[in-house]
Amino acid sequence: MRLGLPGIGAVPGMTPLRRLRSAIAERWLDRRVPRESARIRLHRRRLFILPTPLGYTFAATLALLLLGALNYGASLGFAVTFLLAGSGALAMIHTYRNLEGLELTFSPPPAAFAGERPRLPVRLRADAPQRWGIALEGGDGRAPVTAPAPEAPADAEFRFPPRPRGRFRPPRLRVCTEWPFGLLRVWSWVWPDVGGIVYPACLDHGLPPPERPASTGIDRPSAGAEEDFAGLRAYQPGDSPRRISWTAFARTDDLLVKAFESAPAGDYRFDWDDTAPLQPEERLEQLCFWVVRAERAGLRYGLALPDQRIDPGTGPAHRARCLEALALLGIGEDATA
């Protein structure tokens, strides 16, 4: 399920009066609903309730029925009015209790690329009785949630508009319900203290990747290369006599040859300077493309940026480290999107 919710911040085209009211509401909510843990339980002190447009129409209808009954002294009119008013009062209790005690557990947002919509997974768990008609509102609209029950928690996710690269921390979100009759709306603001990261867009700007250094293999390192002793192996015709281990021959009567290996070779190194013809953001996108493609191909690769160098490696953790370095280049650890 994909969900989302509009925040209450300023919207383009708002009048100065509405912008002022929005700013006042934001400051009030900052004090009332600060950032909190990833597990949030909704209690009565954090629930808000107001009639819906249908609820206001229902109240006006009750007022007209009551006036008519008083004017004509109709007992049936009084009975219908009080019956409907009692149903409305009962609906208020059930609507309120539909959110009270609901527990939301937020997971860290999975990493996304710039241009994609970040996601925020959430699990809703409720004690008895089962809850109905709950909706989540976030950065991209409103959607219902499968009714959570004590033995069957409901999983959903908020979806947000695309964000630029950098750290991403979700804005204040809202959980609401109008069950059972839609006469009243109960909601609660939540602001989980979780965060993720948005990588640069993975785009190829047409630059050829850097050439991969040729591997020199074992036993015959190229001239000038650093050599490390790798052990002994059996003599093969054509091996240099200078590499024969006479000490081992004297001890075992076997003709063994010293094997050496050169420093690791054959690894890609994606350098910031290799993308010089591009603009800064395009350079990050090109480096991101090379990293993703090398990882998919199972190649070893490293990264050289103006502020850090990452040694060659491979695997999901190495890929995430390289992409995170690209995402935070020039932004810093504390920046949020």
Average pLDDT over residues 66-95: 92
Q: What six digits make up the tokens of 150?
A: 């004590």
Average pLDDT over residues 189-195: 90
Residue 14 pLDDT class (50, 70, 90 cuts): low
Question: Which pLDDT belongs to residue 24?
Answer: 82
Residue 218 pLDDT class (50, 70, 90 cuts): very low
Task: Work out the mean pLDDT of the chain and round it to a whole number.
Answer: 81
DSSP annotation string for 106-139: EPPPPPEETTSPPEEEEEEE--SS---SEEEEET
The residue ranking higher by pLDDT, 35 or 185, is 185
Distances (CA, A) of 331 to 168, 278, 321: 12, 19, 16
Instruction: For the chain, give every domain's residue range.
Output: 16-199, 214-265, 268-328
The residue ranking higher by pLDDT, 263 or 72, is 72
In 13-74, which residue ranges form alpha helices assigned H by DSSP? 16-32, 53-72
The residue ranking higher by pLDDT, 286 or 26, is 286
Chain centre to alpha carbon of residue 115: 13
Q: Give the span between the Cα atoms of 303 and 291, in whole angstroms.
A: 9
Q: Give the span between the Cα atoms of 162 and 337, in whole angstroms.
A: 10
Which residues, at least 6 apart from 261, have a Cβ–Cβ distance to it below 8 Å?
217, 218, 219, 221, 227, 228, 230
Question: Which pLDDT belongs to residue 5?
Answer: 36
Could you tell me the pTM of the whole model?
0.69
The residue ranking higher by pLDDT, 265 or 257, is 257
N- to C-terminal Cα distance for the chain? 24
Question: Which pLDDT belongs to residue 225?
Answer: 40
Average pLDDT over residues 131-135: 87
Which of 143-147, 149-153, 210-214, 234-238 is predicted most confidently?
Answer: 149-153
275-329, pLDDT tens digit by residue? 888 899 999 999 999 999 999 888 889 999 988 899 999 899 999 999 999 999 9
